[in-house]
Structures are given as structure tokens and as C-alpha cells.
């Protein structure tokens, strides 16, 4: 029963994300477009996801990573508008942020411990990364997962840029969120499958030791 409830909440949350980040901006853009410039209409439309995030920040009284990225993206879009940025540049706002995060993952591979290691240490309570770091296989898994996220995010950016250059603003607004969710979901699924396979091998290594 708890599993069904979790799935229901997840589905509702996903649907709400699609509406706020995809459907509503598209509707606002289409409504404003006949009455103002495309750039201004797009600027107003992109306010909707930001306002929803600000509401969430006000409700929970803290700024999470996603909230910080949203605020940074909005400031970046304002700078683009003030500098005479085009609609295409404004649409690529979130892609700039995603590209920066993807490069951060890949850049962390040059560090003694990659970024995924610190994510596991922060969120995976059932895993002891400090204890497991002594195993070469575990270190390889951490680096492989970092590669997966870095390349996956840059691939998502590449797809979005192709969409922005070859589709209309209306089409990009309608398809951007579903495409992003699908690609990020694919990265998450690949991570989960790889993590489970790696966990089985890690247990075998510990039993042998």
C-alpha cells in the first residue's frame, strides 16, 4: 500500500512538474505573443517556473541546489535581455546551467575523489563510501558513475540546443520539459541499474576478503 501511495505521489509530482515547467509557460507565451514581442512574451513565460520555485523556497525556508540554479538561471536570462539577447539565447538559459553541472562532474574526475563519491556520502545512508574507498572496484564504480552523469548531462544539452536551432519557440517550450525529464530519467535509471549490479559485486568482494 505504501508503495502504491509513493507511486501515486510520484506520478502527481511528475505531472505537476510538466504542467508548471512546460504547459503553463507555453500557454502564457502563446497568449502574449499576439500582443507583444516574442522576447518579452518568452521572458514572462519563463517566470512561471521561477515563481513556483520561489514559493517552494518560502514554504520550506531554505534554498536547495535546484532553487539556486533556478534563481541563477533567471538572473542570467535578465542579463541576456538587458544585453539584447535573442529568444534562442533565452531558451538556452537552462542549458548553460546543465552544461556547467555536466562539466563539473567531468572535471571532478581529475580530483582524488570524483563528485559522485560525495553525493553517495551525502545521500546513500546504506553505503559507507569511506570504508568502501579502499576497494579499487568501488573507486572505479564511482568514476564510472561520474562519467555517466557528466556525459549524460552534456548529451541532454546537445539535444536541447539542436531543438532550439531547428524548432520554433512554441515547439521548444512544449517539448523541452518532457525531453529533459526523459533524458534525466534515463540517466537515473542507468545509474540505479549500474549501482545494483555494483552492489552485488561489492558484497562478493567483501565476502571473499
| DSSP-H helix ranges across the chain | 2-18, 24-32, 38-45, 47-60, 65-82, 87-91, 93-107, 115-123, 129-132, 136-166, 169-208
Confidence (pLDDT) at 2? 38
Is the pLDDT at 115 greater than 80? The verdict is yes
Confidence (pLDDT) at 3? 42
Whether the full predicted model's pTM is greater than 0.75, yes or no, is no
Q: How confident is residue 95, by pLDDT bands cut at 50, 70 and 90?
A: confident
- What are the backbone dihedrals phi and psi of residue 171, each rounded to the nearest 5 degrees, phi first? -65, -40
Is the pLDDT at 136 greater than 60? The verdict is yes
Amino acid at each position: 500500500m505504501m508503495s502504491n501511495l509513493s507511486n501515486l505521489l510520484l506520478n502527481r509530482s511528475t505531472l505537476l512538474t510538466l504542467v508548471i515547467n512546460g504547459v503553463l509557460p507555453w500557454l502564457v507565451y502563446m497568449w502574449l505573443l499576439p500582443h507583444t514581442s516574442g522576447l518579452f512574451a518568452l521572458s514572462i513565460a519563463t517566470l512561471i517556473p521561477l515563481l513556483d520555485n520561489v514559493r517552494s523556497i518560502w514554504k520550506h525556508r531554505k534554498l536547495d541546489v535546484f532553487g539556486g540554479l533556478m534563481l541563477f538561471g533567471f538572473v542570467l536570462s535578465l542579463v541576456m535581455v538587458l544585453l539584447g539577447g535573442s529568444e534562442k539565447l533565452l531558451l538556452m538559459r537552462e542549458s548553460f546551467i546543465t552544461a556547467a553541472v555536466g562539466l563539473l562532474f567531468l572535471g571532478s574526475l581529475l580530483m582524488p575523489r570524483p563528485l559522485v563519491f560525495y553525493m553517495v556520502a551525502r545521500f546513500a545512508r546504506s553505503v559507507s563510501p569511506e570504508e568502501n574507498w579502499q576497494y579499487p572496484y568501488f573507486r572505479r564504480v564511482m568514476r564510472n558513475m561520474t562519467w555517466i552523469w557528466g556525459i549524460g548531462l552534456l548529451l541532454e544539452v546537445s539535444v536541447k540546443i539542436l531543438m532550439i536551432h531547428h524548432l520554433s519557440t512554441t515547439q521548444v517550450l512544449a517539448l523541452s520539459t518532457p525531453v529533459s525529464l526523459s533524458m534525466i530519467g534515463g540517466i537515473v535509471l542507468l545509474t540505479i541499474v549500474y549501482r545494483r549490479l555494483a552492489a552485488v559485486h561489492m558484497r562478493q568482494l567483501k565476502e571473499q576478503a
